[in-house]
Amino acid sequence: MKTLPPKIEESQSKDGLTAKETYNVVSDTVVGVNVRAKDNLIQGVIILFTVIIGLVIGQMYGGFLLLGGLGGLIVGFLGSGIFLMIYHAVKHASGNHE
């Protein structure tokens, strides 16, 4: 009978990190897709909040509702990305690779 390889989350690398932790380090520091549900939820809430603020500001200044919403979307996307980048850089620097 063939033996199946261990699950990705349980395999250990040479430096003691699991494959999932190694992926998180690489995706946070070099390039990759963030698959953490908590991060995606945080980013979604921040973007929703800034879009609503942008819609309100756009309506207040001459009825530019869509322009305000687009501005809020851009600000929320960049702001939440920068926040998560700094947050994970601090966590990785302290040795927590979750």
pLDDT reported for residue 35: 76
Exposed / middle / buried, residue 76 (Cβ in 10 Å: 0-12, 13-18, 19+)? buried
17 within a domain of the structure (yes/no): no
Which neighbouring-strand residues pair with 94?
none
Residue 95: both structure tokens together: 């040795």
Residue carrying the six token digits 């973007």: 47
Instruction: Answer whether 27's CB lies under 8 Å from 92's CB.
Output: no
Host domain of residue 91: 37-98
* Whole-structure pTM value: 0.70
92 within a domain of the structure (yes/no): yes
Dmax (CA) for the chain in angstroms is: 72
25 within a domain of the structure (yes/no): no
Could you read off the pLDDT tens digit of each residue along the chain, which spans 98 residues? 566 555 555 555 556 777 777 777 777 667 777 778 888 899 999 999 999 999 999 999 888 899 999 999 999 999 998 998 888 888 877 776 66
Query: Number of structural domains, the chain?
Result: 1
Residue 20: both structure tokens together: 């999932």
pLDDT reported for residue 24: 73
94 within a domain of the structure (yes/no): yes
28 within a domain of the structure (yes/no): no
24 within a domain of the structure (yes/no): no
pLDDT reported for residue 58: 93
